[in-house]
Each structure stands twice: as structure tokens, then as C-alpha cells.
Structure 1
């Protein structure tokens, strides 16, 4: 779900250790952006899913009706080691990525099935992505570098339903990756994935009066074929978790983590030649914080995260650092 914050006049009950204004953070937002370094290596070793982006402080909690915004500034640095692809490509790739993600959320006053109806969109812009690629073709080595900038694929959430029951908050959503970001199969670096994907997710938050916060988001990415390369990324399971404690009503500390697993191997000209197929998995963990501040008369929530990959197979291995600001219009 796209990120959100709460209006200034909304309050939790004044309970010890529990935040008094949960504009805290987000409707756990799919931060749908993945940079392609080359046609096969990208599709076989990266994803629309970005670790840590789907879940946050009080991720399942819905704000009052209104329009909300969140802006994420993200830096990712990672690498993927040498691996065979169809017996023809042996590549080691290092990547540094700076991008911005604007998330807009509309919380309506419409109720359906006992839930609040919500919609949103995420719009990514890449300030800079740089890669160092060391590839070997038929025994001949080649080393190259490159960079790019521009818009990536937007992510639309046409429907999300939020239920609240005491300390329990649940959101069911369906997202759609729209392949309109810059893409050329002959380019070294692409900003879009060039394929559609449907992403149903379920988010749950437990927010007791004691000031603890346990939030998680699980989903499955159903990927369609990239018709420029005849490549289909296998469907992907992703789980993001955050456990936090609100030290004061406006300040929280927590630990974030993720687990990612492809449910099936990729298919296409290269992975189909591999005896064991080609699929990815990964896991990571790191600290997170939130802080409520005021900019003039506007309440703003700041959210920071650092996720370190502790396990990666056929996937980039590195660090994701983000700083976000959320506010209500």
C-alpha cells in the first residue's frame, strides 16, 4: 500500500507509551522500482520487489479520510557475484542507486465489506544508477561501466480495504506494476522492467496500549512476460516485518527485516538451458526509527531505515538506506 500519514487533529487515546498521533508512517508501500543492468542478468537477479518497502511502523493502521503523501529518498549499494547463465554469460556486477519515490494515498469515507476503501499510486524517479559490469563471453572478458537517470515504472493500487478491531489492524490490497519506465533491450542500464505484474498483499499491525508495534506485510508477485526478451521472472513471495517500541508518543525505535523467495524458476532463452533453473532468494535485517516533528503548522513524520542483506542467492547482496517524510494535505 502507498505510504500515508495522519491529519493533525487525529489522536490515539492518551495511553502510556503509545503514540498520540499515528501519522507515523505508511500504508506499507510497495516501493516498486528495479533497475535493469542488462536484459538477462537483471531479470534473473533482481525484481520489482524492493526489500523493506512494503512494511513500516503501524503499517496496517488507516488514517481518517483525506489525501496523504510520503516521500522516500533511497540509496542502494550492492553486488552480485559470478554466476553461469546458459553457459554463455559469466558476470560480476556492482550497482549504486539513488532514487526518490513519491507516494500518494487517498483514504475515502466509503465502506465496503465493513472496511475502509483506499487507493494510491507510487511514482519513482532515479537520480542516478551506476554499474560496473565484468562479463565474460565465450572466454573473452569485457569490463564496462555506465549510469542512467529518469522515471521508473509507477505502481498503482486501485483497491485496498482496511479493517480495524481494537489493537488489530488489517489491510488487503492489490497493486499493479505499470511498465512505462524507460526501457531498451539493447541498453546497459534500464529504469523500467518492461513487464506487467500483479501484486496482492495482506498487511497486519498489532498496536496494543503498551506502546509495542508488530507490523508485517506478505504478498505474491505474479509476473508477466517481458516480450522484448521473451523472459518471464518466476512468481515471487515476499514478507516484510517490523517490531518496534514507542519510547515517547512521537518517537519510536524498531528492527525491520524481510524474507524473499521465488516460488518458481525464471523462464526464457537463458534460464531454460540451466539444469536447475534460475530462481532467487534473500533475507535481511536492520534498525528503523520514526520521529514526529512540525514544519511550521504542518505535522510531519520522519522515518529512517537501514536494511543489510544477510542472505542472497542469485540476487543482489548489499545495503538499502532510506529516509522518508510523511504528511497530510
Structure 2
């Protein structure tokens, strides 16, 4: 049971907000790839991120090169981009088994200020040279994540998982608009994960996520697919279920962008971070803090993200 006591999956895309596409590496803590125990989990999160653009050489730059066909424009952007996000989630752990696996589902609507993804989309859609300063401080609904397939199997000290989720374009999107809260396209996440207990208090997790994107609404652009590897470990501090842990990720673009709009350059990024969780009331109310630092970014915004949240559990029996 203790393996699931720190299930805070609320740190998806708009809290880390360093990727193109929707999914961002290190979005989950090491134990969060596996289905929760029966009942409801209601996390409430706030996230802050501070980012700078990294060019194809991996250096901080105020110049964004947009080599789209027929538009070899050099744009000067004002560093940096700061974002804020608020997320209310609903996570459900089901009773019984599906294909011999524990199962669950989750839904994540979110309220956010424009992210670095949206800033990059805005900059790369410009058609003239000059300075473009991203100064929007508006707050609105972002795209929504739904994970209807969440299966995990346990065999001795090993746990395996298969997840499928999608990002629905529920956030406002209008081409070349600073008020956008979403990306204007669907993304499909297919994930496999495994974990092993190396010690009664220590577990190590590895996950691989493939993200496939659809054509963007009202534009001739399709974001390329990305493959992300997440590696992490957690340490159980006591019988209450308090934990600390480390996580890391590496994301790379594995297919080309399509269409005539947007930035036609491949990108990649890596990151490291850590978390700490504490139960105010064991098995009922807990708090958690996370810190993520991204590096080795190319053709992306990268920087530091901090998240803090409250987790409310409503148990419903046991596995």
C-alpha cells in the first residue's frame, strides 16, 4: 500500500512546461506510473516555471531561427518566459482486476498562464524580423489530459504498467494569438513502465512514453512525435508513508514536423529533479513539493520548475 501513498500525478505538462508537444519528462514521481489502490485521489497543485530559450547549439539565445519553407526569418525574443499553473485533478482506482491487472483512470483539467510551448508557437509563427516580446499575463483553461487506460501488474518485487492517455485541445487556441491557453491539437501518449524494489524502502522505476500529435487546428502544421525516457527512485522514510525521491528524463524528437507553419527543427531536452512528501493525516491528507531543473535543451525553452500540492485520499477498500 505504501507504494501508492504519494500519488501526485498533477505535475503533467503545464507545470514543467519545457516541451514541444504536450508531454513533459519528469511529469510523474517514480511510483505514479502504476495504478492506485481502490478509491478516489483529489490532488490540488500550483506550479511555477522560469524558462529561457535554448538554440540548436544548446546555448541561451535571444534569437529564434525559423527555417520554415519560404520563411527563413530571424526573430529576436525577449528572455525569459515565466508561467503559473493551477490544477485540480480526479484520479480513480478501480476495484477488481482487468486482464489480471490493477486499474485506474485519471482526468486533469487545468488553469494556466501561457506556457513556454505557447510562447514558442507564437514566436515561430511570426513572418517578419524584429523584436517580439512575450508579455501576456492572462490566465485561462488549458488543454485537458485524460488517461482511460491505466493497468499495472505485480509479480514479486517487480511491477509493470501500460498506460494510454490523450490531451484534448480544450484550451483556447487561435493562430498567432498571445492569449492562447492550449496548443490547438490532440496528443496521444502511449507508455510502458517497470519498477523493482531493490530494498524494502527503495524502489527504482523506468518508463518510456511515445507521444503522437495530430494536425493543429486552423493551421498547416503537425508537431513531430517525441520519445521520452523517465528514470527515478523513491525512498520510504517511515511507516507513515512519507517519502523522498529523485527523478530524471530525456526527451528527443523522433519524427519530423509536417506542414508549412511552425519551426521545422528537431529538439531535445534532459532534466533532473527531486520530491519530498509528507502525510498530515496518514491515508487521508498529504502535501508534496517538487523541484525540476532542465538542461541540454536544444530548440526549446528550458529552466527551473517548482511545484507544491495537496493530496486528498478517499479510500474504497483495498487490493
8 Å contact from structure 1 (residues 35, 190) kept in 2: no
Name whichever of 80-89 and 304-313 sits farther off: 80-89
Alignment of 1:67-216 (within 5 A): 67-80=40-53, 81=61, 82-86=63-67, 87-92=72-77, 93-126=79-112, 138-143=128-133, 145-216=135-206
Task: Say which SS state the counterpart of residue 78 (structure 1) adopts.
Answer: strand
Deviation at 1:134, TM superposition (A): 8.4
Higher mean displacement: 64-73 or 94-103 = 64-73
Matched, 1:311 2:311: no
**Contact 2:47 2:306 (C-alpha < 8 Å) held by counterparts:** yes
Unpaired stretches in structure 1, ≥5 consecutive residues: 1-11, 13-20, 37-41
Superposed displacement of residue 35, structure 1 = 11
CA gap of 1:226–1:22, structure 2 versus 1, over 3 A, is same
Measure how far apart 1:61 and its partner are. 4.4
Determine the structure 1 residue equivalent to 2:26. Answer: 52
Aligned residues of 1:124 and 1:153 also touching (Cα < 8 A): yes
Structure 2 length-normalised TM? 0.82
How many angstroms does 1:255 deviate by?
1.7
Does the CA contact (< 8 Å) of 2:244 and 2:276 recur in 1? yes
Q: Could you tell me how far 1:28 is from its partner in structure 2?
A: 4.9
Aligned partners of 1:144 and 1:305: how far apart in 2? 26
- When residues 251 and 110 of structure 1 are mapped into structure 2, their CA distance, relative to the original with a 3 A threshold, is closer
Q: 1:76 to 1:51 in 2, by over 3 A?
A: farther
Matched, 1:280 2:270: no
Contact kept, 8 Å, 2:236 with 2:244, in 1: the verdict is yes
The count of aligned residue pairs is 296
Higher mean displacement: 162-171 or 308-317 = 162-171
Classify the secondary structure of the residue corresponding to 2:216: coil
Q: Deviation digits for residues 144-181 of structure 1, max 9, x if unmatched? A: 52222111011111222121122222221110111111
Q: Which of 20, 33, 36 is the matching residue for 1:63?
A: 36
Instruction: Tell me if the contact between 2:169 and 2:182 (Cα under 8 Å) persists in the aligned partners.
Output: yes
Aligned position for 2:317 = none
Change (3 A) 1:91 1:48: farther
**Paired residues of 2:34 and 2:151 also in contact (CA < 8 A):** no
Q: Which runs of 5+ in 2 are unaligned?
A: 54-60, 315-319
- Cα offset for 1:143? 4.1
Conserved? CA contact 1:151–1:191, under 8 Å: yes
Scaled by the length of structure 1, what TM-score is found? 0.79
Contact 1:262/1:281, CA 8 A, preserved across alignment: yes
